[in-house]
Structure 1
């Protein structure tokens, strides 16, 4: 029986740090992109709803596969359990010091 892996992927998106959980993460045929598939979120019927996880669930609702630019990926970890998906500002992600920054993007010049 094959073991089901869970991956925590942390990446930058619009000056925010996204932390999501998925069953499949790999480098795709499109050069320079990491592909994330099978996003994992908590039960929608639970009484306590985390607003950031709910926002991520809404943002990725109906998304089969997401292509993340490789230079925006901060970290990919294989984990034993799914945690809470969340969105942090770059300052929150670096302990309030504001030191997490994107290399470049559409709004930045190389």
Structure 2
């Protein structure tokens, strides 16, 4: 698969929900502790049936060029063959983000 055609499925926690989105670019980004997701993709609108959940996500990310997700909120990133349906689902009480320490700049010795 060539670089331009890559599609990633990104699953992450956000405000008590699990988001599953598709994007053409994922990187460690310029902000420490965040994963950069860019070029979010949504299903073709040529279909007769429209998924209201996907439409809500499309609306939420309307006008977003790239988004930064905290690293500890990411559950999984997969490179996939083709784009699927973006969705938001409720978490169950068994899903908890793994706590990660924050590594900030170290203080200089005095």
3-state DSSP of counterpart to 1:19: strand
RMSD over aligned Cα atoms: 1.7
CA radius of gyration, larger in: 2
5+ residue gaps in structure 2? 100-110
In the superposition, the TM-score normalised over structure 1's length comes to 0.82
1:101 is aligned to 2:60: no
1:78 match: 79
In the superposition, the TM-score normalised over structure 2's length comes to 0.82
1:21 is aligned to 2:22: yes
5+ residue gaps in structure 1? 92-97, 105-110
- For 1:35 and 1:85, the matched residues in 2 are separated by 17
- For 2:2 and 2:49, the matched residues in 1 are separated by 33
Q: CA deviation at 1:48?
A: 0.7
1:49-82 Cα offsets, whole Å, 9 max, x none, are: 1111111100001000100000000000000011
3-state DSSP of counterpart to 1:88: strand
Q: CA deviation at 1:47?
A: 1.8
1:52 is aligned to 2:47: no
1:6-41 Cα offsets, whole Å, 9 max, x none, are: 000000000000000000000012100000000110
- The size of the alignment, in residue pairs, is 98
- For 1:52 and 1:27, the matched residues in 2 are separated by 28
2:107 match: none
